[in-house]
Amino acid sequence: MKKWLTLLLASLLVLALAACGGNEEKDNAGKNNDKPKKDQVIKIGAIPDQSATELNSNMESVAKTLSEKTGMKVEFVPSVDYAALVTAFQRGEIQLAWFGGLTGVQARNLVPEAEAIAQRPKDAEFHSVFITNDPSIKSLADLKGKTFTFGSESSTSGHLMPRYYLIEEGIDPTKDFDGQPNFSGSHDTTYKLVESGAFKAGALNISVWETAVAEKKVDTSKVSVFYTTPAYYDYHWTVNKIDDETKKALKDALLSMSAEDLEGLDMFATDKFVETKNENYQAIEQVAKELKIIK
């Protein structure tokens, strides 16, 4: 009887030790899965709405600044076009993206947990400009029967809002131009096409236009602005579905970027970012639905 009791106690002790070992392994596994922030890799993207060389250089600089401010490894991943960036964001391949108003709405419709977190001050009152090389074009109504180019089909300032204001003026872009409107793919290509005479007129982002004029990248003796749209919300940073701590770190880093951090980054043409939120882009979403660009 005594021998049997000794064997029972020994067996129970072995089981207890095994259980403790298992719990310890589980705890350690949990700790190992909790990687410190500095080991995280954050991939950022931007809509390719202008020169790839300039955009890549600017975004690499932003990635470096965000790395320094957050302690995380931040990498810029180029996208071939607007749709590719939205798709990469939907798949979780991009954690932070610089979107236009329309692409941001598209991305957040696909990822409801995503949040618009920062924008430039000018993005709260953004504009598109209509340009021409034809002195007879002085108003939107004068565009009837003329050749015309938009920017990218997914661009807010290069297509969505210009199309909206054309329709408001009674001009149907599918019927009233000389042929179907062109889509240049980027704002800088739009002003170059109009400057060259390939198209009589076009529409683009006011910020890109003003920078091009200031840096003498466009010949204003050949092409000029004849109409500026009313204000609307546009470009912004949207963060994907990630943990709250990482989201806060990225948002704080963007909002703390100084004029020095942003100096020389022509694609942004700003000295700071300010806070924004999803609700600011409801008007963009409504216009996109009215024009049947999104459902």
The answer as to whether 6 is a domain residue is no
Q: Are residues 175 and 152 in the same domain?
A: yes
The answer as to whether 179 is a domain residue is yes
Structural contact between residues 256 and 194, judged by C-beta atoms closer than 8 angstroms: no
The answer as to whether 208 is a domain residue is yes
The answer as to whether 16 is a domain residue is no
The answer as to whether 13 is a domain residue is no
The answer as to whether 19 is a domain residue is no
Q: Which has the closest alpha carbon to 247: 47, 68, 42, 103?
A: 42
Q: Are residues 177 and 44 in the same domain?
A: no
Per-residue pLDDT at 25 = 40
Among 228, 251, 268, the domain-final residue is 228
Q: Are residues 135 and 88 in the same domain?
A: no
Give the range of the structural domain holding residue 168, as residue numbers without chain letter.
Answer: 127-228
Q: How far apart are CA 48 and CA 142, in angstroms?
A: 31
Q: Are residues 110 and 240 in the same domain?
A: yes
Which residue type, as a one-letter code, is found at position 276? T
Among 184, 209, 228, the domain-final residue is 228
What's the burial of 207, exposed, middle or buried (CB within 10 Å: 0-12/13-18/19+)? buried
Q: Are residues 139 and 108 in the same domain?
A: no
Q: Are residues 223 and 140 in the same domain?
A: yes
- pLDDT tens, residue by residue, 36-45: 356 789 999 9
What is the tally of structural domains in the chain?
Answer: 2
Per-residue pLDDT at 166 = 97
Per-residue pLDDT at 295 = 78
Q: How far apart are CA 226 and CA 110, in angstroms?
A: 37
Q: How far apart are CA 223 and CA 87, in angstroms?
A: 36
Looking up residue 159, the CATH number of its domain turns out to be 3.40.190.10
Q: Are residues 168 and 243 in the same domain?
A: no
Question: Mapping DSSP to helix (H, G, I), strand (E, B) and coil, where does residue 290 land?
Answer: helix
The answer as to whether 287 is a domain residue is no
Regions of the chain where pLDDT drops below 70: 1-38
Q: Are residues 79 and 141 in the same domain?
A: no
Alpha helices in the chain (DSSP H): 2-33, 52-70, 82-90, 101-110, 161-168, 187-196, 206-214, 244-255, 259-262, 282-290
C-alpha to C-alpha distances, 155 to 19, 55, 95, 101, 163, nearest whole angstrom: 59, 16, 21, 8, 11
The answer as to whether 24 is a domain residue is no
Q: How far apart are CA 162 and CA 176, in angstroms?
A: 15
This prediction's pTM = 0.80
